[in-house]
Amino acid sequence: MTDIIAGVEIPGTPAVAAATEFLRERTRPLIFHHSRRVFLFGSLHARARNLAPDPELLYISAMFHDAGLLLPFSGTPQRFELDGADHARSFLLDRGFPASAADLVWRAIALHTTPGIPGRMEPEVAATNYGVLTDAVGWELNSLESGRAEEIVSAHPRGDFKKEFLEVFVDGLKDRPDTTYGTVNADVLEHFLPGFRRTSMVERILDSPWPR
């Protein structure tokens, strides 16, 4: 049976089914529902902008975009976005996807918190970012077709999303605070983590070994 939510069809492929099960089993329901909403919102924004992302690759991007917060991939601390991107790339290559597809999904996830750049890139990269922005901060929420947001939230409830999502961020970043340099993730730690102080580019330049 075809799964359609808010006019968006969930791709019925083995990789989509495996990604859905992977997230359902290994992450909190909050992240699972958030990731599905990101796919749905991203798909609606892509449609409104005449973009045509590959639905399967967009779905994988959405489902893995926050996996790095709960499932660090590397033994060396790195940005959580890179952990999620590495997870997704390995997931796709293990299932026989071409490297070009795996690299595209990697970019979509690695850049999903980066302002300004994803919208100028491939449709999958742009749509992932659009979906994240809508679900996290309400970007262009009022531009969606009437009733679509309600349908999505009915299928994938937000619960106490604002509070719990920020808690997940803190838990996922507090042991690798240096990885938040130059990112929006530093905002979260600065607000919630006692003793955290972000390093600025000004300080790095002034404290560099150059004499002047």
What does the pLDDT profile of the chain (212 residues) look like in tens digits? 579 999 999 999 999 999 999 999 999 999 999 999 999 999 999 999 999 999 999 999 999 999 999 988 888 899 999 999 999 999 999 999 999 999 999 999 999 999 999 999 999 999 999 999 999 999 999 999 999 999 999 999 999 999 999 999 999 999 999 999 999 999 999 999 999 999 999 999 999 999 99
Phi/psi for 5 (5° steps) reads -130, 125
Looking at residue 54, its pLDDT comes to: 98
> Token pair of 120, please?
């100028």
Q: What is the rounded CA–CA span in Å between residue 58 and residue 84?
A: 14
Looking at residue 74, its pLDDT comes to: 82
Q: What is the rounded CA–CA span in Å between residue 141 and residue 55?
A: 21
Let me know: does 80 contact 173? Beta carbons within 8 Å. Answer: yes
Looking at residue 1, its pLDDT comes to: 54
